[in-house]
Structure 1
């Protein structure tokens, strides 16, 4: 028989810890189920997805999988809240057991259109106890270019199919009419059903695990534990804020361009610690832009949350951790986009510039806790076309890593995943098996880490050739104009470099890191060198033995090392 306690009863620490771990395990199993069952390499291999549990009343985050993308930590609670509010207002049909809603509307708590969310009400005794939700990056949702990363879109409709919250599954059954509408508007649609079934199956696994947890401890006990976890998370975040000296800290980060107007965009940020609150003021940031580098409010908020997760990783994943954080000044800027502003770059690129601004501000206050800037781009590369050997169309999405920033203790990690997540590049063998491409190069971008007492990590250097058929390439990347910021006297990391070789001639796109609809024929190649992380501390203070080791491994030539590290390199 399940034991129960009243909602006001004190839960002993051991029971609280076990329930917290149980909620986490539910989400972790959803993550693993989603990846293992998914068809698309971007989910199955790169883990571009996330799963979580959310409040029945306001969509607040209860738990999220440890292997899920951090950028979704805020956005999924916003999108779940929008679903709840639209049901209450009558704009969306009310749920029944077995229903699963689908939504990808960026302006309803989302990111970009390729991040498709499923949300399922979880019932106990005929009432909704909580919501289970997940997000997966679909390789294509229609729009002007294969893969959805339209570098020069000027309206949301050019980026793909926009879905409000609708029931894709009704009482456990896939609605064929809704599915036909979706598949009629996306490329390579016959392959998406595998991702749809994987995404739905992950929620069902989560429901089974959560049922077991509730049956073991009782609904009231688990509810009380959830409330206690939220309260403790808020208290822990306030304690971390207490480490920051009272005052204001300002920084700026820059986006290469919006893909349409070839001028940089500015993120202006002032972080103020006052008492147990931390305020993030974006006043002075650029106005809404013409191209797809606008950010919706949910992504802007989530970018601040994930930056704090990097700085204070031991604070539990719960809505309580966000309560002491105040975000303001974003209204009227490109960080608060409204329909029909294009937003394909918001989740993967603008979010990382926001996090970079947070790091640059708070490293002044907490130099021992905060790193120099990481590579800060997901390297979004979409390639779509026709493969005559297989007799079918294809859409390939390549995500890539970069260098992490150095910190007070050690050098930055090389070829790490992006700031916003745990997604990694799919294995070369998988990509060559699925698509008509050949990788001629897949190596570290040597020398790309910013010099410092602790240098930045190195980015990635890869080159792809189209083997057969025809294709169109599009890029939405960043840090092609400026490198990731160094900290405490460290140098900036190397910039992102994109080169296209077509018909034997090599060129760099006018917007450096962004381009759209580049026609490729067999033999044409694309080479990308992702940024290294910023350096931390005075380069002259670097241990000479570490400089010598970098030279021995070919990361720098002796001449480069002398120029970058001066006294530390013996020059």
Structure 2
């Protein structure tokens, strides 16, 4: 038998109890893989932020299970597998193979997200794959850690397409040596790859153990049933949305080079029966920098995530939600070739996350009129991804990647969460103690913003973070960010939130602080220079005049709301000692309602 040929299993009916046991086992395996990966990794972006994903896949590259980590990593892995199939070294899978892959035009989410894939053989037959991805600190790109203003995909650093780190169990020393001499953080990169290999090997072993216990046919049949069940559940939820076309749009600040040139984001959500299409026609053409989005590895995955989050929330669902391939099947994604969401080779596509988050934000906005109880108001819907770097006296590079938090918009029954990764990010913050112990940096400020107010509403928007990071030695900063110009939207009477901003100054002369663009590449810094990031604040949900006056007063006492904003936006009157004047508040709210334009008949 050709070792590349996937096994055809006998389909058997799996009883409900066994089905649930195998489903739970799949999820446990994926979670264990994720734990091994971040526990064994050395770079903080994996070890602390957990910018990773892990799971098992069948021989058709369908997702069987996924770790509870960053959504973009998991949904992208089938794309990686298809890309590996096209480019696989030698053209065949063998037992003992370990594949490394990160090519954005062969299914990868973007080049720093390196996948490790191990084929799983059972009794000599290929039955599936164990795989993971993780964001690596530096892959030898034009600027340390992150890149934006580059001419093409080849400037992104090392590109691997279906390369075997191990072939039939034998280590490919040439590839490892290549990695060693092509990364600014070679030791971290190689150690993190070893952690990924350990994680994937664990998944491989657990997959075989599951078949030893229940039999190959039962396990693979259960996997098929679990995916079919998830597909049926997703179709049922889609069918609850009225048929029609729903539109929303926004824009990105710029492409990181052509300042002041906004990039339109246009979304049409097309519901027909139990299927949905996300059509991105009309969005910006691809740009000449790295601010493009790989279609298979990121654009499609962002749409999958949007509907899984909207319709299959495990906390509110009355039935058990199994995260697998079935949830992707009813969702179609359309993006014209040559657009920012489907660039043509060899366009660079490393800085792609802000666009994904904004596209998801637009999906929420488009569907708000028909599923108001499932959406929230405008989120920060961006990403602050900063790369700080420098060279030690020994001549070695240090590179630190940091993902900063944003904020959600107000929700149907509660305020938007403050200072939290939102939508697809789901990474954790890096402890500032860890920063000070290992790198020549100090965090001078880390708190909620107090220079602007979040969107007012029956439920207010979340408050963004402000974080000021100071470099103690000369270095450089690259920052991937957006939403300095397009304010997070309010919904159902709520007011818009607030845009973000970034400031650069030196700690010895704070008066010289200056605002800079959201995204910039390779900014050279001297000792004492500080980057202060201010995240956008979420929009409000519902009429601000319906927010209980005492709740507004509590926000003022907590410094979440100013006394003036309580009066202007909420119609709440507080005296000099911040006591509520109920009669004056009622009158003020009546006056504000009277000032509103009459509703159109």
Q: Is 1:235 paired with 2:241?
A: no
Measure how far apart 1:212 and its partner are: 2.2
Could you say which residue in structure 2 is the equivalent of 1:507? 514
**Aligned-partner Cα distance in 1 for 2:141–2:248:** 36
Alignment match of 1:531 (pick from 519, 531, 536)? 536
**Aligned-partner Cα distance in 2 for 1:427–1:400:** 12
Structure 1 range deviating more: 153-162 or 472-481: 153-162
Could you say which residue in structure 2 is the equivalent of 1:166? 163
Could you say which residue in structure 1 is the equivalent of 2:300? 301
**Aligned-partner Cα distance in 1 for 2:279–2:257:** 27
Could you say which residue in structure 1 is the equivalent of 2:73? 72
Measure how far apart 1:448 and its partner are: 4.6
Deviations 1:254-311 (A, max 9, x none): 2111111221111111112111111111111111112222111121100101111211
Superposed CA RMSD in Å reads: 1.8
Could you say which residue in structure 1 is the equivalent of 2:203? 206
Deviations 1:32-59 (A, max 9, x none): 00000000000000000000111213x1
**Aligned-partner Cα distance in 1 for 2:368–2:19:** 34
**Aligned-partner Cα distance in 2 for 1:491–1:161:** 45
Count of equivalent residues: 555
Give the alignment of 1:37-52 within 5 angstroms. Answer: 37-52=40-55
TM-score by length of 1: 0.94
Measure how far apart 1:191 and its partner are: 2.3
* Alpha-carbon distance change, 223 to 190 in structure 1, aligned in 2, over 3 angstroms: same
Alignment match of 2:431 (pick from 405, 427, 430)? 427
Q: Extract structure 1 runs of 4+ deviating beyond 4 A.
A: none
Alignment match of 1:283 (pick from 281, 284, 308)? 281
Deviations 1:335-380 (A, max 9, x none): 101222121221x211111111111111221000111232222211
Alignment match of 2:346 (pick from 310, 332, 340)? 340
Deviations 1:86-130 (A, max 9, x none): 34xxx6542221211111111111122111111110110111110
Q: Is 1:27 paired with 2:34?
A: no
Could you say which residue in structure 2 is the equivalent of 1:3? none
**Aligned-partner Cα distance in 1 for 2:435–2:45:** 10
Unaligned runs of 5+ in 1: 1-5
Describe the SS at the equivalent of 1:113.
coil
**Aligned-partner Cα distance in 2 for 1:304–1:409:** 25
Q: Is 1:357 paired with 2:362?
A: yes
Q: Is 1:484 paired with 2:485?
A: no
**Aligned-partner Cα distance in 2 for 1:534–1:522:** 37
Unaligned runs of 5+ in 2: 1-8, 315-320, 575-584, 589-601
**Aligned-partner Cα distance in 2 for 1:222–1:153:** 47
Alignment match of 2:333 (pick from 323, 327, 331)? 327
Deviations 1:196-245 (A, max 9, x none): 11110001111222222221111110111011011111110110012211
Could you say which residue in structure 1 is the equivalent of 2:248? 251
Query: Whose radius of gyration is greater, 1 or 2?
Result: 2
Measure how far apart 1:248 and its partner are: 1.4
Measure how far apart 1:487 and its partner are: 2.1
Could you say which residue in structure 1 is the equivalent of 2:593? none
CA contact under 8 A between 2:151 and 2:348: conserved in structure 1? yes
Give the alignment of 1:420-499 within 5 angstroms. Answer: 420-446=424-450, 447-468=452-473, 470-499=474-503
Q: Is 1:399 paired with 2:400?
A: no
TM-score by length of 2: 0.89
Describe the SS at the equivalent of 1:71.
helix
CA contact under 8 A between 1:448 and 1:457: conserved in structure 2? no
Could you say which residue in structure 2 is the equivalent of 1:126? 124
